[in-house]
Each structure stands twice: as structure tokens, then as C-alpha cells.
Amino acid sequence: MKKLGIIDYGAGNLASVCNSFRAIGVEGHLVRRAEDLAGITHLVLPGVGAFGDCGTALRAQGLDTAIRDWVAQDRPFLGICIGYQILFDSSEETPGVPGLGIFAGKVRRFRGAELKIPHMGWNTVHPTTPGAGIWAGMGAEPHFYYVHSYFPEPEDASIISATSEYGEVYAAAICRGKLVATQFHPEKSQKLGLKLLENFLNV
């Protein structure tokens, strides 16, 4: 029996994420402390806001250790936007505030002087394994919706599951075991976004 947990750290895009899962027939349960994980089978960390605020809030709620333990046990996990970035060591957005350090790497800002920042809108995603795993049921170059000024640079390139391009090529998504994390917003990406959420639940 699947039970979906959606982490609430006082920010994020909770209503939109909950509504998107509801659209595919799954009700999300808000997780505000480690005790709320009882019975949860699939965990989502959505993100809107700043890297530092997210990391500080997760630590204050005791969820930083809970998330690390969850991922270490290879249980289904989906990180979205800041929920993707916070998995890494640090970010140029908030120097001195550590991330969860689950993956080695730094989150950095787009550097192109000609680029409009934040990057907002639809963009092509290039999966490393088109049509397989989290990308099942999509074409070779699906489009997803972005709102971001920063992106992670994983030290281990083998975890990169898809790339995108905005002035430069960057890691649009990572996968390792049952963990998936995306820089784009599935909950804002209409049909393909819902398909990705459905694929995640079928992990």
C-alpha cells in the first residue's frame, strides 16, 4: 500500500504539488517532523525559495537526518527544484549554509551576462536513458517548466539522469537507486509532469 509524504518546511509549492498528485489519484500527507514519516512509502521534498532557508528549516525540524537516513535506505524519494539543490554540499546562493551533503557538489548561479535570470519557462530536457525508468512514456526530448537562477554541479557525473541547456549545459535531473531529483517543476509541467510523478510512484 503506497502512502505519499510531502515535506512541509514552511515554504515550497505545497498546494500545487498536492494538487498534481491528487490529479493522478494519490493523496499526499504533510511531513513536518521525523515522526510524521511513519507509514510513508514515497517521500517528496518540493522547493520554492532559497537554499539557505530550506536547509535551516529542515535542520530545525529534525528532518535533515531523517532525509539522509531515508535516502541511505534507498527508499523512493523525489526532490523538486530547491528540494534537488539542497541534496548537495553548498550553494552560491547562501555561502556558509550547508546543504544535506547527500551528494558531493556545489549549486551555482548561471553566469552568462546575456541570460535573463531567473530562467523561467519551458525548456527541453535530454534524458540519458530516454523512455526508461522515470522517463517512461515520454519522447526523447520532453519539455518541462523551470523557474530557477541556480543549478547543482554533481561531482559524480554518473548520477546525472538528464541535462538541459540555458546558456550552458547543466544537470536537469539526477537519479540514484530509488531517488529522483529535478531542477524543473513537474507540478507545473502539465501532462508530462503528471507522467513523471506517476512514474515516481511506480518505483
Active site residue 42: no
Active site residue 29: no
Residues 96, 104: Cα–Cα separation, whole Å: 16
Half-sphere exposure of 78 (CA within 13 A, CB side): 25
The backbone torsions φ and ψ at residue 74, rounded to the nearest 5 degrees and listed phi first, read 55, 50
DSSP class of 135: G
The residue from 42, 119, 148, 185 that is catalytic is 185
Distance of CA 202 to the CA centre of its chain: 17
The residue from 18, 42, 54, 81 that is catalytic is 81
Crossing angle of helices 51-60 and 63-72, in 10° steps, is 90
Active site residue 148: no
Length of the chain: 203
Catalytic (active-site) positions: 81, 185, 187
